[in-house]
């Protein structure tokens, strides 16, 4: 299996898991951190949506990142994020709907990316040293980022008394 096919398989898995991990969590529950100094499920879901803009960049497309003023990080945010106009906090359903709208477009752009493009050296800093500064290395890092935050929402799910997240497409 090619590197691109492996990266796409991870992207596809994260698409399924994102929807499964937030299933059954109410908007009120999504606003509540389970402990001091932790993120809420809504912030994590919104941050995952925000991170999809990086996938769009890899795929050579642009997507509108709603609510960027709420879900970026200081370290990962660019000028467009840091200077974003204030917006109302979305509901968890709005985040899910935006994810569902963007996901097929992002998937197609990533699928159309030539395999050799993964070796393109890029000038984007990402924090994990084992990944090189190539487009493929950035994609691998973002895949890890998505899995990490989906896992955090999975812990919140269980703390809220919900059943464990399913790995199967609903």
Q: Percent of the chain having pLDDT more than 70?
A: 89
Under the banding of pLDDT at 50, 70 and 90, the label for residue 125 is: low
**Helix, strand or coil for residue 134?**
strand
Give the mean pLDDT of 141-155.
95
pLDDT of residue 166: 93
Which residues, 6+ apart, have CB-to-CB distance to 55 below 8 Å? 11, 106, 109, 110, 139, 142
pLDDT of residue 128: 62
Residue 119 within any structural domain of the chain: yes
Residue 110 within any structural domain of the chain: yes
Measured CA distances, 90 to 27, 95, 129 (Å): 9, 7, 34
Tell me which of 76 and 138 has the higher pLDDT. 138
H helix or E strand, kind and range, residue 13: helix 3-22
CA 102 to chain centre: 11
Give the model confidence (pLDDT) of 71-115 as tens digits.
766 666 667 766 777 778 899 999 999 999 999 999 999 999 999
pLDDT of residue 127: 63
Give the mean pLDDT of 116-133.
77
Give the mean pLDDT of 57-84.
76
Q: Is the pLDDT of residue 26 over 70?
A: yes
- CA 17 to CA 14: how far, in whole Å? 5
Residue 168 within any structural domain of the chain: no
**Cβ-contact 7, 139 below 8 angstroms:** yes
Query: What's the CATH number where 21 sits?
Result: 1.20.120.450
Which residues, 6+ apart, have CB-to-CB distance to 155 below 8 Å? 34
pLDDT of residue 131: 67
Q: Is the pTM of this model over 0.85?
A: yes
What's the domain range around 136?
3-159
Give the mean pLDDT of 111-135.
81
Count of structural domains, the chain = 1
Residue 170 within any structural domain of the chain: no
Residue 67 within any structural domain of the chain: yes
Q: Is the pLDDT of residue 138 over 80?
A: yes
Tell me which of 128 and 96 has the higher pLDDT. 96
Average pLDDT, the chain: 89
Q: What tokens appear for 116 in the block? A: 């050799």
Q: What tokens appear for 45 in the block? A: 């879901």
């Amino acid at each position: 299996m090619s590197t691109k096919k492996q990266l796409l398989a991870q992207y596809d898995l994260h698409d399924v898991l994102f929807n499964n991990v937030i299933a059954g969590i109410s908007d009120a529950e999504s606003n509540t951190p389970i402990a001091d100094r932790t993120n809420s499920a809504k912030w994590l879901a919104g941050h995952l949506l925000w991170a999809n803009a990086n996938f769009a960049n890899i795929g050579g497309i642009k997507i509108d990142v709603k609510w960027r003023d709420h879900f970026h990080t200081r370290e990962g945010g660019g000028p467009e994020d840091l200077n974003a106009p204030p917006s109302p906090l979305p509901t968890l359903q709005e985040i899910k709907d935006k994810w569902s709208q963007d996901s097929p477009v992002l998937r197609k752009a990533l699928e159309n990316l030539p395999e050799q493009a993964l070796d393109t050296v890029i000038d984007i800093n990402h924090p994990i040293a084992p990944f090189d500064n190539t487009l493929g290395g950035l994609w691998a890092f973002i895949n890890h980022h998505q899995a990490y935050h989906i896992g955090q929402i999975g812990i919140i799910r269980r703390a809220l008394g919900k059943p464990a997240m399913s790995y199967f497409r609903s």
